[in-house]
């Protein structure tokens, strides 16, 4: 029998009816068993970790396996110690389970028990399941059951934890089974709604318990092809994205989606910091996270020096538009081809054995032999080998047959005239040099992008070669992908040339030794053999890792893109380069795009190279975050510029009206709210560069522009001088985004002239209001 664990439930006085033993006694027994099993598992994992750390490091594969085991054990322990008993999120029962021994002590009761769902799977010492992992098929009915489609579920209980104790729970009954009703406390979702208004912190809170059926269906959708999740503010798009990442790694690990092979792409660094705790809380520590800018910088391997705040955005809207165009990505390809032109003149290749003529047709043959998909800078070895073969064949037929072919190849590989000619016709180029030349040499840009007008070419030119912006990164990434690593190619070339020169030098020494040796069968002639000569040389691999190489420059099995409406076409190409399979989850809201988004999601993705036949779209339309009072004020703002905006319907009203006041009241508004609320966060959202009070001493207040607020949420949002944020579509979108970051209260502060103040940021009735 499981040990008792009194005190798991800590229900407040107004929920005393839920503390009836008839409702919670079975839970207390099962949770006590879970607590005991957790303690045993922690002890077992700790012992295994200590033992593994004491194992000899070994060499090669043994070291890799040992280190991988240690990382896995550390991650498992971190998850268990992070939560304790609140690793359990709730349970559900089927028709048979609702009459199981926990609820019915009669000897004829079925043996089926309720299914308890957790962040991980857990069994007792006998192997009996105590928790099923939320990602498994066994847990799916817990999230998927609805009144319209119960999935065989008779009731569901979700726990609300605080301080490792259950402070509330809500039961949902599917059907009218009297036996079920005797053991549950049916809730009209008031506990669920109450949980939505909990105070926020600087990190995204855990919401696994409150995942809804429509969200769960998206989380568990197949990863083949591209899935678009379109939803307005507060619909749980980010929640879906994060839980889908954890689900796919668990459910499809056997299908090739291994740990570390999934990328989550976010809109900016504050967003990634905000969601940093969610995946570890779901048992996943291996998801790569990045912004689009990170992808471009990673591919360049630290070549570009970035200031502490990152590269600046492109200030000129027209220049930004031109650099984001897919045609500019094609201009990069044209710029590379411009540096792949075979020589048009014949040349004489002189050696100590024979002189040979190399024709333009020979060069064209060598250039044409480069395999498709070979990066420009990595093609030199293929070209040199083809040229060498052409010359060796010609030399053998021109009185050089007594010279070993390996020696001839080495001679041609190290031949300085051949090197100079190849480098002029097919130079090694860095991505920064290629793109920098486009922005500083108008004739070169005109040649590679003939569709540009004279004025557009003038706009794209700049005087400072290294004045990079974020708009350059997708083009630099395209150049790097097409060129390959220039420094690595140069190092490889130097190593190969050095080996070839050394082989030729040793051949000359061998020739002298043989000429001086009276014994034709002696040791010296044996040195002619190529295998003996090569054995004397350094044969370490040429393909040493590039300096600054990053996992982000490689290929991923699946990529999840949040706030995807902000990606430009050029940035989308950068993403697809890392996911050639097209296995993507795209999460966003067309209405929140700061740029033109008149086409549909499918049309945009088809334009950047995805097949519409492999694209599936779903829509989220319920707002779980933002109260109805705030959405009623925000909806007209976005519909004034985007009438077809997907404005979601709020699931709750807060009772707090939107506040209106003057800009000079900002300090008082924030101070008073913080004094009243001991928990929760404040977002002061204003135009970039606006003058506002210094709130840096409070870790509960953040000051930021609308673009940096995307994906974040605050209990109170104070929007400072909304009209100063911008005009037109961009201004309306920024105001809409700012207003919908609020989970409880919104205050709009305008300049003093003609502004009426109504800043009651409390629920109706708290101050005696009606």
Tell me: do 152 and 266 sit in the same domain. no
Tell me what the mean pLDDT of segment 619-631 comes to: 93
pLDDT at 157 over 50: yes
pLDDT of residue 537: 46
CB 626 within 8 A of CB 740: yes
Backbone torsions φ then ψ of 324, nearest 5 degrees: -90, -10
Distance CA 253, CA 718 (A): 44
Query: Does any domain span residue 230?
Result: yes
Tell me: do 683 and 740 sit in the same domain. yes
Q: How many CA atoms within 13 Å lie on the side-chain side of 708?
A: 15
Backbone torsions φ then ψ of 652, nearest 5 degrees: -150, 160
pLDDT of residue 713: 93
pLDDT at 535 over 50: no
Q: Which is nearest to 165 in space by CA: 2, 15, 1? A: 15
Domain with residue 679: its CATH number is 3.40.50.300
Q: Residues near 453 by Cβ (< 8 Å), separated by ≥ 6?
A: none
199 Cα distance to chain centroid = 27
Please, which residues bridge with residue 703 across strands? 684
pLDDT at 533 over 50: no
> pLDDT tens-digit profile of 505-527?
555 555 655 556 555 555 455 55
Tell me: do 408 and 494 sit in the same domain. yes
Counting beta carbons within 10 angstroms of the beta carbon of residue 633, is it exposed (0 to 12), middle (13 to 18) or buried (19 or more)? middle
Q: Which is nearest to 394 in space by CA: 420, 426, 368, 365? A: 365
For 69-135, give the DSSP string: HHHHHHHHHHHHHHHGGGGEEEEEEETTGGGSTTT--STTS-S--PEEEESS-EE-TT--EEEEETT
Distance CA 451, CA 457 (A): 10
pLDDT of residue 504: 58
Query: Does any domain span residue 590?
Result: yes
CA distances from 371 to 374, 378, 380, 411 (A): 6, 11, 11, 24
Tell me what the mean pLDDT of segment 20-34 comes to: 92
Distance CA 562, CA 623 (A): 17
Tell me: do 34 and 120 sit in the same domain. yes
Please, which residues bridge with residue 356 across strands? 349
Query: Does any domain span residue 252?
Result: yes
> pLDDT tens-digit profile of 389-408?
999 888 888 766 677 888 88
Query: Does any domain span residue 763?
Result: no
At 375 the three-state DSSP class reads coil
Q: How confident is the model at residue 182 (pLDDT cuts 50, 70, 90)?
A: low
Tell me: do 184 and 226 sit in the same domain. no
For 567-584, give the DSSP string: --HHHHHHHHHT-TT--E
Tell me: do 58 and 119 sit in the same domain. yes
Tell me: do 489 and 477 sit in the same domain. no
pLDDT at 177 over 80: no
Q: Which is nearest to 3 in space by CA: 23, 41, 29? A: 29
Query: Does any domain span residue 297?
Result: yes
**b/e per residue 448-473 (b: at least 16 CB within 10 A):** bbeebeeeebeebeeeeeeebbbbbb
pLDDT of residue 518: 57
Q: Which is nearest to 610 in space by CA: 561, 577, 563, 588? A: 577
pLDDT of residue 554: 84
Which of these three, 162, 196, 230, is where a domain ends? Answer: 196
Q: Which is nearest to 241 in space by CA: 258, 221, 213, 268? A: 221
pLDDT at 731 over 70: yes
Counting beta carbons within 10 angstroms of the beta carbon of residue 289, is it exposed (0 to 12), middle (13 to 18) or buried (19 or more)? buried
CA distances from 292 to 201, 306, 561 (A): 26, 15, 10
pLDDT of residue 108: 37
pLDDT of residue 219: 95
Distance CA 319, CA 174 (A): 58
Tell me: do 581 and 522 sit in the same domain. no
pLDDT at 538 over 80: no
Tell me: do 651 and 739 sit in the same domain. yes
Which of these three, 483, 503, 518, is where a domain ends? Answer: 483
Other beta carbons less than 10 A from residue 305's beta carbon: 8
Tell me what the mean pLDDT of segment 173-180 comes to: 67
**Domain membership of residue 644 as a residue range:** 628-750
Which of these three, 196, 228, 262, is where a domain ends? Answer: 196
Distance CA 374, CA 428 (A): 13
pLDDT of residue 4: 44
Query: Does any domain span residue 371?
Result: yes
Distance CA 648, CA 620 (A): 8
Residue with more model confidence, 484 or 443 = 443
pLDDT of residue 406: 82
Tell me: do 245 and 292 sit in the same domain. yes
pLDDT at 265 over 60: yes
Distance CA 35, CA 24 (A): 16
> pLDDT tens-digit profile of 638-695?
999 999 999 999 988 988 999 999 999 999 999 999 999 989 999 999 998 899 999 9
Q: In which region does residue 728 sit, left (phi positive, over 0), alpha (psi from -120 to 50) or beta (all else)?
A: left
Tell me what the mean pLDDT of segment 98-109 comes to: 41
Tell me what the mean pLDDT of segment 317-337 comes to: 96
Report the share of the chain in percent with pLDDT over 70.
Answer: 81
Distance CA 184, CA 156 (A): 9
Q: Which is nearest to 271 in space by CA: 704, 646, 748, 725? A: 704
Number of domains in the chain: 5
pLDDT of residue 446: 97
pLDDT at 321 over 60: yes
The mean pLDDT value of the chain amounts to 84
Distance CA 360, CA 421 (A): 11
CB 682 within 8 A of CB 700: yes
Residue with more model confidence, 541 or 277 = 277
> pLDDT tens-digit profile of 105-152?
333 333 358 999 999 999 998 999 999 999 999 999 999 998 889 999
Tell me: do 640 and 525 sit in the same domain. no
Cα angle: 712, vertex 215, 556; to 5 degrees: 75
Query: Does any domain span residue 714?
Result: yes
Tell me: do 321 and 356 sit in the same domain. no
Distance CA 701, CA 692 (A): 12
Q: How confident is the model at residue 539 (pLDDT cuts 50, 70, 90)?
A: very low
Please, which residues bridge with residue 583 across strands? none
Distance CA 275, CA 712 (A): 9
470 Cα distance to chain centroid = 18
Query: Does any domain span residue 185?
Result: yes
């Amino acid at each position: 029998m499981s040990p008792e664990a009194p005190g798991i439930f800590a229900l407040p006085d107004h929920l005393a009816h839920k503390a009836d033993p008839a409702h919670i006694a079975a839970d207390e027994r099962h949770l006590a068993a879970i607590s005991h099993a957790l303690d045993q598992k922690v002890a077992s994992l700790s012992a295994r970790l200590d033992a593994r750390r004491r194992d000899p490091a070994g060499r090669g594969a043994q070291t890799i396996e040992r280190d991988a085991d240690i990382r896995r054990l550390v991650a498992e322990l971190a998850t268990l110690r992070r939560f304790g008993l609140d690793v359990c999120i709730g349970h559900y029962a089927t028709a048979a389970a609702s009459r199981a021994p926990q609820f019915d002590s009669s000897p004829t009761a079925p043996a089926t028990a309720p299914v308890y769902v957790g962040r991980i799977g857990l069994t007792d010492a006998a192997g009996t399941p105590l928790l099923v992992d939320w990602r498994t098929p066994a847990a799916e009915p817990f999230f998927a059951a609805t009144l319209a489609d119960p999935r065989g579920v008779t009731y569901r209980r979700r726990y609300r934890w605080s301080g490792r104790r259950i402070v509330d729970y809500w039961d949902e009954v599917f059907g009218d089974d009297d036996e079920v009703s005797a053991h549950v406390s049916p809730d009209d979702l008031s506990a669920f709604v109450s949980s939505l208004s909990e105070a926020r912190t600087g990190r995204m809170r855990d919401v696994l318990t409150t995942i809804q059926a429509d969200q769960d269906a998206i989380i568990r959708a197949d990863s083949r092809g591209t899935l678009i999740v379109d939803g307005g503010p507060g619909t749980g798009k980010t929640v879906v994205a994060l839980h889908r990442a954890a689900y796919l790694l668990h459910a499809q690990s056997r299908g090739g989606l291994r740990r570390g092979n999934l990328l989550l792409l976010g809109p900016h660094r504050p967003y990634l910091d905000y969601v940093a705790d969610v995946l570890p809380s779901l048992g996943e520590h291996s998801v790569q996270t990045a912004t689009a800018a990170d992808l471009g910088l990673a591919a360049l391997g630290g070549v570009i020096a970035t200031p502490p705040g990152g590269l600046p955005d492109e200030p000129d809207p027209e220049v930004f538009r031109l650099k984001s165009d897919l045609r500019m990505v094609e201009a990069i390809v044209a710029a590379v081809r411009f540096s792949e032109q075979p020589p048009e003149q014949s040349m004489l290749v002189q050696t100590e054995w024979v002189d040979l003529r190399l024709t333009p047709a020979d060069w064209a043959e060598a250039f044409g032999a480069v395999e498709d998909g070979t990066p420009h800078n990595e093609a030199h070895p293929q070209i040199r080998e083809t040229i060498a073969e052409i010359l060796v064949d010609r030399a053998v037929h021109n009185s050089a047959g007594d010279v070993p072919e390996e020696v001839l190849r080495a001679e041609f590989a190290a031949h300085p005239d051949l090197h100079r000619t190849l480098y002029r016709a097919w130079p090694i180029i860095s991505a920064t040099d290629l793109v920098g030349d486009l922005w500083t040499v108008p004739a070169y840009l005109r040649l590679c992008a003939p569709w540009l007008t004279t004025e557009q070419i003038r706009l794209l030119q700049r005087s400072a070669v290294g004045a990079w912006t974020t708009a350059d990164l997708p083009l630099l990434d395209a150049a790097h992908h097409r060129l390959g690593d220039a420094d690595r190619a140069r190092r490889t070339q130097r190593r190969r040339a050095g080996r070839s020169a050394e082989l030729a030098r040793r051949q000359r020494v061998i020739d002298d030794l043989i000429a001086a040796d009276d014994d034709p069968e002696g040791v010296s002639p044996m040195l002619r053999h190529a295998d003996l000569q090569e054995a004397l040389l350094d044969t370490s691999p040429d393909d040493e890792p590039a300096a600054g190489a990053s996992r982000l420059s490689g290929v991923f099995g699946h990529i999840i893109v949040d706030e995807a409406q902000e990606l430009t076409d050029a940035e989308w190409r950068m993403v697809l380069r890392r996911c050639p399979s097209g296995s993507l989850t795209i999460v966003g809201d067309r209405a929140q795009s700061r740029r033109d988004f008149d086409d549909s999601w499918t049309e945009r993705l088809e334009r950047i190279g995805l097949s519409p036949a492999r694209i599936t779209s779903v829509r989220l339309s319920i707002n779980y975050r933002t109260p109805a009072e705030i959405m009623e004020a925000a909806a007209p703002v976005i519909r004034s510029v985007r009438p077809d905006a997907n404005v979601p319907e709020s699931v709750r009203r807060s009772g707090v009206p939107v506040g209106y006041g003057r800009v000079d009241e900002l300090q008082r508004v924030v101070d008073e709210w913080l004094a009243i609320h001991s928990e929760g966060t404040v977002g002061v959202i204003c135009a970039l560069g606006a003058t506002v009070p210094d709130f840096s001493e409070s870790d509960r207040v953040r000051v930021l522009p609308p673009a940096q607020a995307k994906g974040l949420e605050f209990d109170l949002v104070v929007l400072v001088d909304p009209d100063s944020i911008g005009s037109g579509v961009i201004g309306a979108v920024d105001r809409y985004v700012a207003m919908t970051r609020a989970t409880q209260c919104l205050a709009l502060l305008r300049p003093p002239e003609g502004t009426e103040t109504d800043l009651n940021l409390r629920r109706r009735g708290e101050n005696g209001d009606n």
